[in-house]
Chain A
């Protein structure tokens, strides 16, 4: 029985049940199409925009032009639904000397004077007087081509080159990756090389400790000295990210709202009333104000509770070893409870359809110390020392592109009249010292 190749297969993330060769071929073809599109688009832009502009600035010969006449060029377009629209381009009839010969030609006074408003186009011509002598540059290979303005339109360059540049980069790197993996086994493709690093620097995953593959580096944990112990641990607070998220949302939403409100206000001042815009502004304003209120509330919450700091005597940690800790909490008010735990968490990143999902699971937790009814005075901070012991047979910290095993010290507090808070301080646990 003849079995046709499967073009579609069950898929979860990078795992496919279909043919690897067909998948690689499809991947390579897709990126090749993007690369070719980038090359074509880039070529068109280079020949239509970059080369003419560069020639005007480098090859055209300077001359003096006398304005003989003014006019408008009308371009009429037929709409698909019927009807026509016109654009107007101011132009000038000029006389100049080119290659020793008196020459006359029509030229545009500026490259950005195309408008759909005829009166506006006429108005732009009033700045030019008949008989006026102005500087001009003509094409030495075609003396009928003359311009009255030189320079580079950087914005147009930036916008025009952004898309072909992105297509070239994405298509080129994808095609190189597909070529590099073509016909190679999974293991051979995974062997790291300088070329791989250069081509796809993110493919190697997060930074790893020297001589310890898969173990995260602890550089970020030892660059801040403590006041009493060796290192102050960085904080990973989910509340801080929430606060940042609410702040960004409030800022962006209200920026859009302000722009719309200014437009509506100008319309009203001009005697026009756009009821649709005004009707849209009302719910937009409600959401904007709610965003600001939630952000301010969260900000007050974050600042009123006070800061938490944890210092540790050594980094990285090893199984079976004990380490001295210092917990410090500032702010004012009363804390019903404050507790510090040692936690081990697994984290898996996977794709479902087009979504990337992260699942975290705390698989082990050990209380280190807890306190109750703490009265915090302004200007002072609560400080307590504790000891943490990493179990003998503990798994070491692990990180790869999609999976991680993380250790952390987690501080949980319950203030009076405020919601509880959780603050996490990451640790790096190395494997136990090995003896060959």
Chain B
């Protein structure tokens, strides 16, 4: 089990717990994630979106693909009533995480909170799918 906390001044803190401590997954593995939020203060949470997605990084424009998306608006499942939530999804066969030279592919879990005043707060937590070694220049093996 691993815990990661993201802290911002005057922002909520989100603790995310992955079922694999090293956050390394293989295709078709089940990704089981639990998250906990505190530091909300008096702000009312209107909705929460939980997403598992991949996105590209590097020299090109960013592309992203959503694998799992869930929007929660039910008050019983929103903070402060529910402070510990979780979800599970089976990872797809592709794309695999990739650390290329000008193209990189990253997988992450995003938890986005929408507050009553129209503000939103997103917390992003990376993990890897597959075991592709990083590319380099000059490279001899991929």
Contacts and interface: CB of A to CB of B under 8 A. Distances in A.
Interface of A: 13-15, 185-188, 190-192, 205, 211-215, 344, 346-351, 359, 361, 363-364, 391, 393-396, 398, 400-405, 430-431, 434-436
Given A190-B65, A205-B63, A213-B65, A402 B96 contact: no
A348 B58 contact: yes
Interface in B114-142: 120, 122, 130-133, 135-137, 139-142
Contact of B59 (A187, A344, A359, A435): A359
A400 B49 contact: no
B92 interface: yes
A188 B90 CA distance: 19
A364 B142 contact: yes
A359 B90 CA distance: 34
Interface size class of B (residues with CB under 8 A): 35 or more
7 contacts: A187-B49, A205-B63, A213-B93, A346-B103, A364-B141, A395-B135, A436-B29
Contacts of B65: 190, 213-214, 400
Interface in B80-105: 90, 92-96, 98, 100-103, 105
A434 B56 CA distance: 23
Contacts of B142: 344, 363-364, 391, 393-395
Nearest to A404: B103
A402 B102 CA distance: 12
Contacts of A359: 59-60, 102
A361 B138 CA distance: 11
B101 A361 contact: yes
Contacts of B66: 187, 190-192
Contacts of B130: 431
Contacts of A363: 100-101, 135-137, 139, 142
B132 A393 contact: yes
B59 A348 contact: yes
Contact of B62 (A15, A188, A394, A430): A15
A215 B58 contact: no
Interface string B31-61: 0000000000000000001010110101111
Given A187-B49, A431-B130, 12 more contacts: A185-B122, A211-B93, A213-B92, A213-B95, A214-B54, A215-B94, A344-B135, A347-B103, A363-B139, A400-B56, A401-B63, A430-B94
B41 to A, nearest CB: 21
B60 to A, nearest CB: 3
Interface of B: 26-29, 49, 51, 53-54, 56, 58-67, 69, 71, 90, 92-96, 98, 100-103, 105, 110, 112, 120, 122, 130-133, 135-137, 139-142
Contacts of B27: 431, 434
A188 B69 contact: yes
A13 B61 CA distance: 6
Nearest to B139: A364
B59 A213 contact: no
Nearest to B26: A434
A329 B131 CA distance: 38
Contact of A190 (B53, B71, B141): B53
A405 B61 contact: no
B60 A403 contact: yes
Contacts of B60: 347-350, 359, 402-403
B61 A398 contact: no
A390 B98 CA distance: 17
Contacts of B96: 395-396, 431
A107 B26 CA distance: 82
Given A347-B103, A364-B142, A434-B27, A403 B110 contact: no
Contacts of A405: 98, 100, 103
A403 B65 CA distance: 12
Contacts of B139: 363-364
Contacts of A436: 28-29, 90
A26 B8 CA distance: 30
Nearest to A183: B118
Most chain B beta carbons < 10 A, residue from A185, A192, A435: A185
